[in-house]
Amino acid sequence: MKCKNLLGILAMAAASGCMNLQLLSEMDLFDAGEEEGVAGSGDSDGDTDGDSDVDTDGLPATDADDSIPPTLITGACGAFESMSEGVCVAEGTVSASFRFETHEPAMVTISSSSSGSASVLTALWAVEHHAAAVLLDEGVASSVTLSFEDVNGNADQVVLDVTATGGYPVAVTEILADPNGAEPDQEFIEVHNFGAGAVDLSGWMIDDNGDKDGDLLPAGTTLGAGSTGIIVSPDFDPSAGDDPVPASSATIIYLDSSIGTSGLKNSSAETIQLWDAAGVLVSEYLGEVGNPKEGKSAARLSAELPDGDEWAWGPDPLDPPTPGSVPTL
């Protein structure tokens, strides 16, 4: 089943133990360390910053003298992100994503001038925040407002202009490099079409080592709007039993040989790239989740998140994998 609501699927995954949402707020992907606010009369948790902090129960403590709204801490952005108003911004084919840090726990909301959707992807009262907006007007700037408020109601916001870059609305969304079952037979690379129309993948190439000499997808391969494809070897058995069965709605795309020269590596994370028939890079995975783990997959948090988003992929391998089921914004 395709999940329309990313927050819902993350919450369900957290409840089932498949994904720890708290890890998203605990990850320190900014180079700058956490900063404190101005000196005050003391907090209920024993420090002296005069702002809201997290107490021993993991909830924001209330400081009576706090009148300072959450302020942005400027950190280092990723190689494919840009800094705007203290926020790391990545622009993608139909969307833009935002990463930023506040000096105290904050509740964040996001709104956009476009007709697309907007979602906050991290938990309430985090200090490191992740949000995204789908921008349906390709090449047209949209205004996105990020608002943040502390537990005492002190609030601030930033307004950013972002533009969807356009291009094929297809992304690499999940990779199982080290299956429980036979290798390389049961390995898979998942791709998803998050666009409004079908995309012909005939002659597209999936490459696992960055040399643009990968495996061609067979002629006649088409992904409908909102559809998911599972790229596999010719000996892939969807009902083998050692690994999850692909969703019934998924299109299984059989290659002429194993993925890569002799399958995907288990010893180290590989770059996985999807190229169109004209030799243009459409989507890639740069090994953000780390070395493969047996029976676990690397999975993108949402199909539409830009490749350049440092947090586009989950912090931990997905257990169990979910071939054919892709979260969307």
Looking at 163, 180, 215, which one is the last position of a domain? Answer: 163
**CA gap 291, 288 in Å, rounded:** 9
CB 190 within 8 A of CB 223: no
Residues 204 and 281 in one domain: yes
pTM above 0.85, yes or no: no
CATH code of the domain in which 177 resides: 2.60.40.1260
Mean pLDDT, range 13-20, rounded to an integer: 40
- Report yes or no on 40 lying in a domain: no
Residues 86 and 14 in one domain: yes
Residues 232 and 142 in one domain: no
Residues 148 and 294 in one domain: no
Residues 175 and 153 in one domain: no
Residues 203 and 263 in one domain: yes
Looking at 106, 129, 163, which one is the last position of a domain? Answer: 163
- Residue 94 Cα to chain centre, angstroms: 14
Q: Which of 95, 96, 76, 94 is nearest to 86 (CA)?
A: 76
State the pLDDT at residue 55: 52
CATH code of the domain in which 130 resides: 2.60.40
Residues 179 and 317 in one domain: yes
State the pLDDT at residue 39: 30
- Report yes or no on 43 lying in a domain: no
3-state SS, 152-219, equals CCCEEEEEEEEECCCCCCEEEEEEECCCCCCCCCCCEEEEEECCCCCEECCCCEEECCCCCCCEECCC
- Report yes or no on 152 lying in a domain: yes
Mean pLDDT, range 94-104, rounded to an integer: 96
Q: Can you give the residue range of the structural domain that contains 264?
A: 167-329
In a 3-state reduction of DSSP, which class is residue 280? coil
The pLDDT tens digits of the residues spanning 309-322 come to 999 999 999 999 99
Looking at 146, 163, 180, which one is the last position of a domain? Answer: 163
In a 3-state reduction of DSSP, which class is residue 120? strand
Q: 131 or 75, which is more confident?
A: 131
Domain count, the chain: 2
Beta bridge partners of 100: 129
32 pLDDT tier (thresholds 50, 70, 90): very low
State the pLDDT at residue 306: 97
Residues 195 and 327 in one domain: yes
Beta bridge partners of 154: none
Residues 310 and 184 in one domain: yes
- Report yes or no on 41 lying in a domain: no
- Residue 241 Cα to chain centre, angstroms: 28
**CA gap 76, 141 in Å, rounded:** 24
Res. 36: pLDDT tops 60: no
The pLDDT tens digits of the residues spanning 248-295 come to 999 999 999 999 888 999 999 999 999 999 999 999 999 999 999 999
Res. 12: pLDDT tops 50: no
Beta bridge partners of 149: 107, 155
Residues 140 and 29 in one domain: yes
20 pLDDT tier (thresholds 50, 70, 90): very low
Residues 123 and 206 in one domain: no
**CA gap 152, 140 in Å, rounded:** 37
State the pLDDT at residue 17: 40
**CA gap 217, 212 in Å, rounded:** 14
- Report yes or no on 42 lying in a domain: no
Sign of the CA dihedral running 44, 48, 54, 57: negative
The pLDDT tens digits of the residues spanning 180-236 come to 999 999 999 999 999 999 999 999 999 998 788 899 999 999 999 999 999 999 999
- Report yes or no on 55 lying in a domain: yes
Residues 135 and 278 in one domain: no
Q: Which of 239, 254, 266 is nearest to 183 (CA)?
A: 266
What mean pLDDT, rounded, does the chain reach? 85
Q: 60 or 159, which is more confident?
A: 159
CB 52 within 8 A of CB 60: yes
